[in-house]
Structure 1
């Protein structure tokens, strides 16, 4: 809207110049000048056709009455529009060449009419034309540079969105895989003791229900990221190691992580949770997991060791890859593998604040 008003104001100024010459110009010149000015209203959308029309009308004007008039400034405006707005610079060069030819025509007309020196008119009008072309080229270059910056910004935003989706996928894997593993183990245990020990079976069913509810809460928290900031605020619950106590696995935690930031605490939680998931899946019934937390000199070391057979099927699956990426995000180290004498161990260190 603002550009249209600007174009209309420019056309009004050209028409005002034409009005000042009304006593010196015959009616055909006034009509041609008005047509040249009105063509400029379309200069942004159709720069090349407008330039062609203005150039052609300028030639007709000189043919009707050989003289250079103030309304001929339309030629410079049309040339400026081609250089600035057309996506191909070649057309800007062609428009500049046409304007240069107009400079030569103007100098010849003024020279033959004895109203000015050829070289004076040629140099002055030529300098003005060259300045307008250079100004248009400078504006065009800056506009393209800004457009490239905006495109780069949009590309970075798309890459960040892709990283965020990958993080959400890992988060969902952590939540679903761990919770389902716990529920399956508890369901198998309940089916085994349902006849001989109904109380233990009921306790296993309660654990299944609690795990399912916790999993749904965690999934809502993760998916809230996709719904915007307001939804994230509503689902603010931060997972803690104490939440893993009711998993049905013999879990023992030694040491303390101390005060951690939200991202650091979530990383520690997911490392321990994924270690528990691997133990439940691959260590066999009755396996236990020992987690040691050691904090010193701004570094937290997490060691999770189970007493299973010492193998994890699909060792480079989403679980270990997710843990490795989480640790790498903090600039820490990660390793996982079997230990001597049986068992599987996960070792991670992350820098912590404080």
Structure 2
């Protein structure tokens, strides 16, 4: 069934994403353009239809109109960069506002740019930029109050009506109002900046967690592939060892004893079919979730059948399982015991020689608190320590370690005068029981 195409996001979501990728465009459309339109209306009204190129300032002086228009534009246009470069934008706005006040004309609608710039610095700028333009905005509020006092007093230096108290009160009110607007903008911007940084920190943390989960998933997949490779090695190694031994035996007796030769070839066929079934079962794990559960993994109860297969290859095996001492075992431990026994018998079959004999003992030492599996033989005392692919003996050691156990494999001659090879695996009892089962 083909995958259904992903539905397109709603229009409003696409619009938001469009402007998030183009911050300057959103600020231009929703901040700069409206303020420029208001400012244009203001300048058309303040010029009074003058064609001289001059307009009247706050002190009754003539002010060059084009210069004031340029300053008004410089006090508004940088808002387009307020979220991208808040420090640069605020610096240009502050310079334009200062020039307007020095020209004794005063800002028009461009005064709205100041709290917007302070807000942007507090939200998007670093701490030094934020505090610098907070102080700059407060200084601008004081200068605006002084400009209003100068405007009220006129060029004579006397306030209107000769009352300095009214002029100073007006200056304080204007300064206080402007400072309150600047401070409020900074506080709101600082709060929004803190939330933005917290959100970014959470998003970064989530990204790191996602990367860790992906890494864990990759490691788990690698571990699963290694486990399957180890299973395939054990199945193929054992089955091929049995098949080779049977083929060699059948070749030698085919003329003298055709019946035995036929039995040998029948064993080869049975072993090959069983190996193929095992391989299909394990490879199914790669294609289908839960495929491994369709057929139980081999365990302790399958060791006698394993021994019978090896015996049919001509190797004499003595098996002793102290079943009455065995605790309930988890499926993983049972599989480990089976594979260790299988690998050890396969090595004996390969390297023990024609007169080798193998011994298997499985039981529990409750005084030591251990489950013990011993496989030894009377062969030549050599084994394949490593098959070149990281399996073999290393695979047996890894299986034991997986459940907190240990495994030793060495020639018996190191501790006795007997020839042969010995493998001993020990598992702590607290690690072999199924989860949720007590003693």
- Residue number among 241, 250, 258 corresponding to 2:316 in the alignment: 250
* Structure 2 Cα separation of the partners of residues 131 and 100 of structure 1: 17
In the other structure, the counterpart of 2:18 is 42
Q: 1:263 to 1:41 in 2, by over 3 A?
A: closer
Q: Distance in 2 between matches of 1:56 and 1:146?
A: 36
Counterpart position of 1:324: 397
Superposed CA RMSD in Å reads 3.8
**1:42 positional shift:** 2.6
Q: Does the Cα contact within 8 Å between 2:250 and 2:265 map onto a contact in 1? A: yes
Equivalence for 1:175: 235
Aligned to 2:406: 333
Q: How does 1:61-100 map to 2 (within 5 A)?
A: 63-64=39-40, 65=42, 66-67=108-109, 92-93=124-125
* Partner secondary structure for residue 392 of structure 2: helix
Aligned residue runs from structure 1 range 130-169, under 5 A:
130-169=190-229
Q: Structure 1's 119 and 153: CA in aligned 2 closer, same or farther, altered over 3 A? A: same
Partners of 1:266 and 1:283 lie apart in 2 by: 24
Instruction: Specify which of 411, 424, 430 is matched with residue 347 of structure 1.
Output: 424
1:224 aligns with 2:262: no
Quote the residue 1:200 is aligned against.
Answer: 260
8 Å contact from structure 1 (residues 76, 132) kept in 2: no
Segment drifting more, 184-193 vs 133-142: 133-142
Indicate if the aligned counterparts of 2:35 and 2:110 stay in contact, CA closer than 8 A: no
Aligned CA distance change for structure 1 residues 106 and 241 (closer, same or farther; 3 Å): farther
Q: Is the 8 A contact 1:55 1:75 kept in 2?
A: no
CA distance in 2, matches of 1:96, 1:5: 39
CA distance in 1, matches of 2:273, 2:408: 32
Partner of 1:303 in structure 2? 374
Partner of 1:127: 187
TM-score (norm 2): 0.62
* Structure-2 separation of matches of 1:79 and 1:42: 23
For the pair shown, the structure with the greater C-alpha radius of gyration is 2
Gaps of 5+ in 1: 9-37, 84-91
Contact kept in structure 2, 1:110 and 1:121, CA below 8 Å: no
Q: Match of 1:11?
A: none
Aligned equivalents of 2:262 and 2:114: distance in 1? Answer: 95
Shift of 1:279: 0.7
Task: Pick closer, same or farther for the CA change 1:210–1:110 going to 2, 3 Å.
Answer: farther
State the 1:234 CA deviation: 2.5
Alpha-carbon shift at residue 134 of structure 1 (Å)? 1.6
Query: TM (normalized to structure 1)?
Result: 0.75
Which has the higher mean CA deviation after the structures are superposed, 238-247 or 159-168?
238-247
Deviation for aligned residue 1:283: 0.8
1:91-125 CA deviation, whole Å, 9 max, x = no partner? x4379959986993997598678895221221112
**Contact 1:187/1:204 (<8 A) preserved:** yes
For the 8 Å contact 1:54–1:75, the answer to whether it is kept is: no
Aligned residues between the structures = 314
Provide the C-alpha distance between the structure 2 equivalents of 1:242 and 1:159, rounded to a whole number of angstroms. 35
- The Cα offsets for residues 259-287 of structure 1, whole Å up to 9 and x where unpaired, read as 42211111110111001110111111232
Aligned residue for 2:20, secondary structure, equals coil
Give unmatched runs, 5+ long, in structure 2: 1-6, 43-107, 149-169, 434-438
